Structure 1
Amino acid sequence: MRHISILVPKGAVLGSIEGPRQLFTQVNQFFKAKGEPPVFKVQLVGLEKETPLCGGLVTIHADTLLNDVEKTDLVIIPAVDGEMKAALEANKEFIPWITKQYKAGAEVASLCLGAFILASTGLLNGRKAATHWLAANDFRKMFPEVNLMAEKVITDERGLYSSGGAYSYLNLVLYLIEKYVGREMAILNAKVFAIEIERESQSPFIIFQGQKEHEDEPIKKAQEFIENNFQEKITVDQLASMLALGRRNLERRFKKATSNTLVEYIQRVKIEAAKMSLETSRENVNEVMYKVGYTDTKAFRTTFKRITGLSPIEYRNKYNREMIAA
């Protein structure tokens, strides 16, 4: 029987504790229905027997305390709420225990913002991770040695797993169920809980918000210029001249401050504007394309799909209010 330890951090998001517990427990129910023994022993593991969540509205009762778990097979780190540095400080006692379990052979999976706790162990340094796209800039600043895959729903590297934003943790739990007990069980669970099983990217959900929490004022001016003039053709040389900076110096400072190259930033601002038009207007794809400053249809469609994971038409069909209502 595989031992699964679902941590109960202080400030945890309730759903990311209860969701995995339900999915793994359901697998045991499937086996019981076939007259077979359970395959998972699922425990909620806390720093204290009772942990208040949701501002005290809910209290989680742990099955066991952290230091009473000598060995486990899988550690689940749920998402945490609030300011991340405070959340990490409140849950720092988990860090050496997670590291010890991993070194003893356990696998570790972080859900959404739980990636901040996993990254604090140092185990993710030089490895891939996912987290909620809204927290990507903060994550990169706090953990520059981790290879953040902001568009991914799931990452899997050397027994370390992570999931993207919010309810995409369900996809990671199904992924683990498939790995441990097979595809049939994963599909059964997906059907019982009405989960779309094959989601690989959170790109369609990302709202681009340029990283401006830096102190490089000329770079902020460049960002503001791009955001206010995205309909025009903007070149790197134009920006360098406007800011009286050398091209290479500008490109280096821009990437350091924003985690995007200048070209990527311009593309992302244009595509974000295109997404808004496709969501809210009746304009066709070509009209939207011209409106955001593209003249090459192929280039627009290619860039749009690379950034969002969907073609412009697929995006409009999925998110336009009138299309959905029709």
Structure 2
Amino acid sequence: MQNTPNLPIILLDAPGAQRAALWGLQDLFALVPRLDPTCTPLDVRVLAPDALPQAPVAAFVFAPSIEGTRPVPDHPLVAWAVQQHAQGALACSVCAGAFWLGQAGLLSQRPATTHWALEEEFRQCFPDVRLAPEHILVDDHDVITAGGLMAWTDLGLHLTGRWYGAEMVSRLARHLLVDPGGREQRAYSTFAPPRQHGDAAVLLAQRHMDQQFGTALTVPVLATVAGLSERSFVRRFTAATGTPPASYLQALRVEKARGALERSQASIAQIAWDVGYRDVPAFARAFRSITGLTPGAYRSRFRTPMS
């Protein structure tokens, strides 16, 4: 089933950006409707900083830098990225592109990756990021980071899976003669709720849930964050996201748990606690209801080699 965005995807021609990544990603996405004419084409644009739209976009990508260029805090692209992410855009980076997301504050307290050779520099610049340079790609729900210079292919295939499904990933990888990789070739049933629904109060609650998913997030708490009455909050949240708050929170917690099971050595009980479950059997039931697997079986199947 397709889940293609109807807003533009912006590939950012930032200072020093690797042209191969920018044009390669644009070509990669353009191949999808050629392989299957029933697939909805994406509106993918390579844009310089002085040509960026102020209207909301579906996603944006910071490419690798081949010149060692690093962003400064007051660069217009930093403010633009913050604004777009706040409006619901999916934020992505490849290699040194992660420095732009870091400068924008979009990786704070999040897991992320970049090129292994940049690890020391990145940690010094952004010590509050949970950097995992051993991973080729880290999907943290509304922020995705990829590793080395050529990891734009991994990001492209991963986004293809998110928007078109696993079968298209296989077809595209075969056509390009690239290895999709075990982790990127898994079932792409990731939790990707709508964020560009236009309800600012609901988006505030979604952002709060993204950051505080491990705490007690009751309807009264979320309604207060949104500045709404409880009844109005539940009604507007369900209308905007297509999911009631309790079901949304469960799906979000399971998505966070999936990432932890893939990337960390923490026990299942610890992961359950970290994502907000104080009862491990209840966590296991919720996890299986969404993924079809127990947490242990999921870890055995999808754990990355260096976890």
After TM superposition, the score normalised by the length of structure 2 is 0.55
| Aligned match of 1:276 | none
Q: Which runs of 5+ in 2 are unaligned?
A: 1-5, 185-304
| Aligned match of 1:41 | 43
Q: Does 1:169 align with 2:126?
A: no
Deviations 1:104-160 (A, max 9, x none): 111011011100111110010000111000111100011101110010001111310
Instruction: Determine the C-alpha separation between the residues in 1 that align with 2:7 and 2:32.
Output: 12
| Aligned match of 2:129 | 146
Instruction: Determine the C-alpha separation between the residues in 2 that align with 1:199 and 1:23.
Output: 19
Give the residue type in structure 2 aligned to 1:10: P
TM-superposed deviation, 1:6: 0.8
In terms of fraction of residues, the more strand-rich structure is 1
Give the direction of change, closer, same or farther, for the CA distance of 1:12–1:199 in structure 2 (3 Å limit).
farther
Instruction: Determine the C-alpha separation between the residues in 2 that align with 1:79 and 1:113.
Output: 5
Give the direction of change, closer, same or farther, for the CA distance of 1:40–1:25 in structure 2 (3 Å limit).
same
Deviations 1:259-289 (A, max 9, x none): xxxxxxxxxxxxxxxxxxxxxxxxxxxxxxx
What is the 5 A alignment of 1:94-109? 94-109=77-92
TM-superposed deviation, 1:81: 2.7
| Aligned match of 2:95 | 112
Give the residue type in structure 1 aligned to 2:36: F
Deviations 1:224-248 (A, max 9, x none): xxxxxxxxxxxxxxxxxxxxxxxxx
| Aligned match of 2:56 | 71
Q: Is the 8 A contact 2:62 2:92 kept in 1?
A: yes
Q: Percent identity?
A: 25
After TM superposition, the score normalised by the length of structure 1 is 0.52
| Aligned match of 1:132 | 115
TM-superposed deviation, 1:2: 4.5
Q: Does 1:190 align with 2:195?
A: no
Give the direction of change, closer, same or farther, for the CA distance of 1:171–1:142 in structure 2 (3 Å limit).
same
| Aligned match of 2:140 | 157
Q: Is the 8 A contact 2:72 2:103 kept in 1?
A: no
Q: Which runs of 5+ in 1 are unaligned?
A: 49-64, 202-307, 310-326
TM-superposed deviation, 1:16: 1.3
What is the 5 A alignment of 1:86-97? 87-89=70-72, 92-97=75-80
| Aligned match of 2:66 | 81
Q: Is the 8 A contact 1:2 1:39 kept in 2?
A: no
TM-superposed deviation, 1:191: 1.1
Deviations 1:290-317 (A, max 9, x none): xxxxxxxxxxxxxxxxxx85xxxxxxxx
Instruction: Determine the C-alpha separation between the residues in 2 that align with 1:157 and 1:90.
Output: 23
Deviations 1:149-204 (A, max 9, x none): 01000111131000011212211210111011111111111111111111559xxx
Alignment root-mean-square deviation, CA: 2.4
Deviations 1:27-66 (A, max 9, x none): 132333xxx3633111112124xxxxxxxxxxxxxxxx11
Instruction: Determine the C-alpha separation between the residues in 1 that align with 2:20 and 2:182.
Output: 19
Q: Is the 8 A contact 2:73 2:103 kept in 1?
A: no
Q: What SS is found at the alignment partner of 1:43?
A: strand
Q: What SS is found at the alignment partner of 1:116?
A: helix
| Aligned match of 1:29 | 34
Instruction: Determine the C-alpha separation between the residues in 2 that align with 1:120 and 1:108.
Output: 13
Q: What SS is found at the alignment partner of 1:135?
A: helix
Q: What SS is found at the alignment partner of 1:40?
A: coil
Q: Is the 8 A contact 2:160 2:169 kept in 1?
A: yes
Q: Is the 8 A contact 2:136 2:148 kept in 1?
A: yes
Aligned residues: 183
Q: Is the 8 A contact 1:171 1:197 kept in 2?
A: yes
Give the direction of change, closer, same or farther, for the CA distance of 1:199–1:14 in structure 2 (3 Å limit).
farther
Give the residue type in structure 1 aligned to 2:63: P
Q: Which has the higher contact order (CA 8 A, sep 6+)?
A: 2
